[in-house]
Structure 1
Amino acid sequence: MALKKFADLTEREILAIAIASEEEDSRIYLSFSEELADRYPATSKVFVEMAEEEDGHRRQLLEIYQARFGRNLPPIRREDVGGYYSRRPTWLLKNLPLDMIRSQAEAMEKDAQRFYIQAAEAAKDVGVRKLLGDLALVERSHGEKANALSEAILTESAREEEGRTAHRFFVLQYVQPGLAGLMDGSVSTLAPLFAAAFATHSNFSTFLVGLAASLGAGISMGFAEALSDDGSITGRGAPIIRGAVCGFMTTLGGLGHSLPYLVPDSWPNAFWTATAIAAAVVFVELWAIAYIRARYMDTPFLKAVAQIVVGGVVVLLTGILIGGA
């Protein structure tokens, strides 16, 4: 479908788009409020206030439209105008961190400000031009108003509570899937990697096995994490983000001790050199896992070290025994 150029819009169409845009933005802010109500109740109230202000803008625009053009609004949307900004569907913002939602709100206000500046320049009626210019100034100051609302609504106790909630959300959406991936990639790939190493004594062949195991495990863990929970009940965040984090960390964990086997086979003692480096990398990986568990999962450090090291050593010895058989 052909899109209209902004320069070709009539004053009536510009006002109709502005009215529809303010109505949609108000609904989006209410969706933000609903999404944040359980996790961040104080910030949720801020978005309710912003939604009410957008609805006030809509009423102002509607009044001046009806005075000039009557009650019938032409069926034109911002998506029908070439180069015009569009909003991300609110379902894409579900279970996202608070900072991302705030960033989306800031982007909305900047887009609206640019539109009103263009619209005011295109308007011929003095009253319409003044209203659109005023709305551009309001949109520019919305960030400051949002901050003022935050100061009024977000008390110190509310901020502390939201800080704890944000930390919990960060752990659930990033740390937990990342840790699960790192553990799986670092531990589960040990057996096939070292089995191939001691069976072939070929560095490059061992690297290919490690690469395949790492990528395969990363893809598998990524899909498993993303499909296991959409976050709507558990509050663990967006499944796509969790899956990407888990898959990446799984692959990284496996590649860490696979890359040393890129040591050329032509080097003296190439196999044992690569194996020694890989073993050192495994040691670092296991300690990193233990540190993350102690830092974010409230697991005593020595207990975390014992659990991870014992598990890793068992898997490592299994691979060596199978490969040397």
Structure 2
Amino acid sequence: MTILTAPGRAEPSFLLQRAQPALTGLIDGSLSTLAPIFAVALATHEPRYAFFAGLATAIGAGVSMAFSEGLSDTGDQTGRGNPYRRGAITGAGTFLGGVLHTLPFLIPGYHLALVVALATIAVELLALAWLRWRFFGTGFLRSFVAIALGGVIITGVSAALGAAG
């Protein structure tokens, strides 16, 4: 299967059937899991509880997004391909996006776990911006700012909730 048709341009079927579901999942997982992880971490100061909250959220979000994508359309009319494959790609991407910044909370030290988690999130945001630039031709800086803005809003709200708890 040839993925690229011209420098930096992917085949439309690859974009619709593989890259877009994967990117949707990665972005959703990276952003949607921030709130419970940081709310629990800041409320309890216990990395272990933040890890379990993040893991449960990543699993739940992955399953939810897999079903949502798989049930959104059959792919027949839209050309988006097999719904089971799209669902699996989206679900796996969502889980991966959520679990990556959950893993630092296996570190027993609260402050170190937070620092490593924030560094992981920064790397995730850079990777997401790069993927949007690489496969969809969006500007890297524009992508990074858009994704980071979502992350800042979510983290700010969850930090406020966690600090209030």
Alignment TM-score, normalising by the size of structure 2:
0.92
Residue 41 of structure 2 corresponds to 197
Residue 183 of structure 1 corresponds to 27
Quick check: 1:276 aligned with 2:115? yes
- Which of 170, 174, 178 does residue 14 from structure 2 map onto? 170
Quick check: 1:238 aligned with 2:82? yes
Amino acid at match of 1:212: A
CA distance in 2, matches of 1:259, 1:305: 23
CA distance in 1, matches of 2:117, 2:81: 35
SS in 2 for 1:260: helix
Quick check: 1:295 aligned with 2:139? no
CA distance in 1, matches of 2:161, 2:32: 15
**Shift of residue 163 of structure 1?**
4.7
**Shift of residue 196 of structure 1?**
0.3
CA distance in 2, matches of 1:289, 1:315: 17
Amino acid at match of 1:319: S
Aligned pairs (5 A) from 1:111-130: none
**Shift of residue 311 of structure 1?**
1.1
**Shift of residue 172 of structure 1?**
0.8
Gaps of 5+ in 1: 1-98, 100-158, 265-269
CA distance in 1, matches of 2:10, 2:154: 36
CA distance in 2, matches of 1:166, 1:214: 29
Aligned pairs (5 A) from 1:1-325: 99=1, 163=5, 167-264=11-108, 270-325=109-164
Gaps of 5+ in 2: none
**Shift of residue 300 of structure 1?**
1.2
SS in 1 for 2:11: helix
Amino acid at match of 2:131: I
User: Larger RCO: Structure 1 or Structure 2 (Cα < 8 Å, ≥ 6 residues apart)?
Assistant: 2
CA distance in 2, matches of 1:167, 1:176: 12
CA distance in 2, matches of 1:214, 1:207: 10
SS in 2 for 1:299: coil
CA distance in 2, matches of 1:211, 1:240: 23
CA distance in 2, matches of 1:166, 1:289: 17
CA distance in 2, matches of 1:241, 1:166: 19
Backbone CA RMSD of aligned residues: 1.8
Q: Which has the larger radius of gyration?
A: 1
Alignment TM-score, normalising by the size of structure 1:
0.48
Alignment size in residue pairs: 161
CA distance in 2, matches of 1:302, 1:202: 35
CA distance in 1, matches of 2:40, 2:136: 34
CA distance in 2, matches of 1:197, 1:231: 40
Identity %: 47
